[in-house]
Amino acid sequence: MKRIAAFLLLLVLMPCLAGAEKLTKTNEETGYIAVIDDGALLLDAAEYNDVMNTMMGITDYCNVGLYTYHGESRAYVGDKAEEWANKTFTGHCTLFMIDMTTRQIMLWSSSDMRKTITQAKGNIIVDNVYTYASDKEYARCAMTAFNQTLRVLKGETVSGPMKYISNALLAIVVALLLAYLLISTRHEQEVKVSLPEIITATAGMGAVIGAKKLSRKVHHSSSSGGGSHGGFGGGFSGGGGGGFSGGGSSHGF
């Protein structure tokens, strides 16, 4: 009877054990590896392959990892990311971490990779993806972060919050032009209106629009995690088992 109970318990635990499995895949050309360590069990079986395929593009440049955590430690997410990186890689790495304990995501890179994946670019990436974590779309969150990281490694541009400000300014310019064209074509009116007068009249409205667009993007604070970016830096250290260090960008969700 005890054997049957133990067998049934094993069957119940098998999905959990499978979900927590650390998966590793090697890029045969570069020798770099991609590692998924889903300790928080955020991915289902169907998502592992999609996430891994997305990560493999980064192995053309360095080692890459996805690390999820849900334990007792409330240490800073950057400390956890660095500790995991030192256990998993030998250098030249970048990883995306989802910390369910502190409700933080982080894009962390070894110091040598930080020359390309800079603090500013990391801030843009985590700011672009943290809402997916808030919506519990963890696979989408990670894959989007990896896709944008790959674009950075390729030297491409990743757009961030400034695009919303640019859109607001563009909307103001278009509104000014439309207003000027509308008024100038109303020949039946005898009142002459100049473009400077229109600009003056609509400047206040434009400022309000721009302020609303900006505040919508930069106000991320919440009781669950906070919305400010976190930085974590360090230099390379070697010899005597010192391992390596790095830094990155974090964001609450």
Structure confidence by residue, pLDDT tens digits, 2-36: 455 444 444 444 444 444 679 999 999 999 999 99
Residue pLDDT, tens place only, 110-154: 999 999 999 999 999 999 999 999 999 999 999 999 999 999 999
Residue 251, domain member (yes or no): no
Q: Report the CATH number at residue 118.
A: 3.10.310.50
Asked whether the beta carbons of 66 and 72 are under 8 A apart, the reply is: no
In a domain, 34, yes or no: yes
More confident of the two residues 169 and 138:
138
Q: Is position 237 within any domain?
A: no
> Is the CA virtual torsion 184, 189, 192, 197 positive or negative?
negative
Range of the domain at 25: 17-160
Residue 145 maps to a domain:
yes
Does some domain include residue 232? Answer: no
Asked if the structure places residue 56 within a domain, the reply is yes
Give the lowest-confidence range in 65-69, 138-142, 218-222.
Answer: 218-222
Q: What is the 3-state secondary structure (H, E, C) of 37-51?
A: EECCCCCCHHHHHHH
Grouping H, G, I as helix, E, B as strand and the rest as coil, residue 252 is strand
Structural domain contains residue 131: yes
Which H or E run contains 92?
Answer: none
**pTM, to two decimals:** 0.66
Nearest to 142 by CA among 67, 79, 86: 67
Total domains, the chain: 1
**Contact by Cβ (8 Å): 113, 97:** no
| Within a domain: 42 | yes
Query: Where is pLDDT greater, at 197 or 222?
Result: 197
